[in-house]
Amino acid sequence: MKKIETKRPYRIIIIILFAVLLAAVIGSIALGRYPIRLKETLGILGSKVFEIKPFWSATQESLLLNHRLPRIIVACLVGCCLSAAGASYQGVFQNPMAAPDILGASSGAAFGAALAILLDLGGVMTVIFAFCCSILVVLLVIYTGSRAKGKRVLGLILSGIMISSLVSSGTSFIKLVADPEDQLPAITYWLMGSLNGTSPRDVAFAFFPMFAGLIPLLLLRWRINILTLGDEEAATMGVNAKRLRMAVIICATLVTAASVSVSGMIGWVGLVIPHISRRLTGNNYKHLLPASMLFGAIFLLLVDDVSRNLLTTEIPIGILTSLIGAPFFIYLISKDGEQL
């Protein structure tokens, strides 16, 4: 039986993470080639509720409301969702290497986005195609895994690997036949992951599926501890492990699909952040999941700040998360010979 451990005062950690996230949001609003001070930010936001005489320019208001603030919100939501999905999958599959794309959600989104770009359907349809294909691929994985003989968890993982490979082949074929002057660069850029061009429409699209998945995960987080003990142990505690596992998988898939559809392929967040959070809070999911969500939001927001401010040309955020995540993960698994 696996022991559920708790480290350091949980409330203090959550308060610190929330304070850091708030500070990061405020700092991110000010960062950019066109600075917006806190006073002006409060004035612009307050003018939507109260009658305030403008002391800011129309350019600053448009930049804040239509570009910078939506981008900050989406960065926080995507980081939060990918971390929550990664932590949930690691508990469900009892595998420290599980990540949000373990069931093919990211591969499906990539195929859908590439197909929409190939058909010249525009930005909105690219997001919708990515989301729908992501969900369809995971449903196919679940169906295939349910028909596999032997352990159901192993069947799901193997089905995810197989179908992800198949869908990735379809994406590669789309890149092969795409217009090299226009469509191919657009597909390649989307696959690298970026929050450039994020609009209020993206916030509106992603908000509801994200929260529809996050809220059940938060409510079920203490039950994920039971899944880590094994199906037999869960049965003795009166928990239907198969039903619970499927509920967690569906919710984690929903938030992953919504995240990837608006941000493109962003790796390592859902794999590394839960492990860092586990070092802070222990492996009790009652504490681990909220900490992972806050930590993920902070991490992706800060990485996005670097992405849009480091060079004159924006760096795709997926490149930065890989550059940061892979070496840090090597450090985590090698430090003091500890196991994840």
Transcribe 224-255 into DSSP letters: HHHHTT-HHHHHHTT--HHHHHHHHHHHHHHH
Q: Are 199 and 263 in contact (CB under 8 A)?
A: no
Count CB atoms within 10 A of the CB of residue 332.
16
- The whole-model pTM stands at 0.92
Helix, strand or coil, per DSSP, at residue 179: coil
Q: Which amino acid appears at position 182 of this protein?
A: D
Q: What is the pLDDT of residue 192?
A: 93
Judge whether 5 lies within some domain.
no
- Could you read off the pLDDT tens digit of each residue along the chain, which spans 340 residues? 455 555 558 889 999 999 999 999 999 999 888 888 889 999 999 998 888 888 888 889 999 999 999 999 999 999 999 999 999 999 998 888 889 989 999 999 999 999 999 999 988 899 999 999 999 999 999 999 888 776 778 889 899 999 999 999 999 999 999 999 999 999 999 999 999 888 899 999 999 999 999 999 999 998 888 887 777 777 788 788 888 999 999 999 999 999 999 999 998 999 999 999 998 998 899 999 999 999 999 999 999 999 998 888 889 999 999 998 888 878 777 765 445 5
CA 269 distance to own-chain centroid: 7
Q: Are 327 and 272 in contact (CB under 8 A)?
A: no
Judge whether 314 lies within some domain.
yes
- Domain range enclosing 116: 10-337
Judge whether 287 lies within some domain.
yes
Q: Which of 62, 299, 48, 78 is nearest to 200 (CA)?
A: 62
Judge whether 3 lies within some domain.
no
Q: What is the pLDDT of residue 4?
A: 58
How far is 101 from 246, CA to CA, in rounded Å?
A: 16
Place of tokens 């900050």: 72
Q: What is the pLDDT of residue 145?
A: 87
How far is 251 from 295, CA to CA, in rounded Å?
A: 19
Judge whether 242 lies within some domain.
yes
Q: Are 297 and 77 in contact (CB under 8 A)?
A: yes
Helix, strand or coil, per DSSP, at residue 221: helix
Q: Which amino acid appears at position 167 of this protein?
A: V
Helix, strand or coil, per DSSP, at residue 35: coil
The 8 Å CB, 24+ separation contacts for 278-284 are 278/340, 279/7, 279/332, 280/7, 280/8, 280/13, 281/6, 281/7, 281/8, 281/10, 281/13, 282/4, 282/5, 282/6, 282/7, 283/4, 283/5, 283/228, 284/4, 284/5, 284/6, 284/225
Q: What is the pLDDT of residue 229?
A: 75
Q: Which amino acid appears at position 335 of this protein?
A: K
Q: How far is CA 220 from CA 51, 148, 195, 204, in A?
A: 43, 27, 30, 25
Domain count, the chain: 1
Judge whether 58 lies within some domain.
yes
DSSP letters, 245-291, are: HHHHHHHHHHHHHHHHHHH----SHHHHHHHHHHHHH-S-HHHHHHH
Count CB atoms within 10 A of the CB of residue 112.
28
Q: What is the pLDDT of residue 1?
A: 43
Helix, strand or coil, per DSSP, at residue 218: helix
How far is 335 from 311, CA to CA, in rounded Å?
A: 33
CATH of the domain at 260: 1.10.3470.10
Judge whether 150 lies within some domain.
yes
Q: What is the pLDDT of residue 127?
A: 93
Judge whether 4 lies within some domain.
no
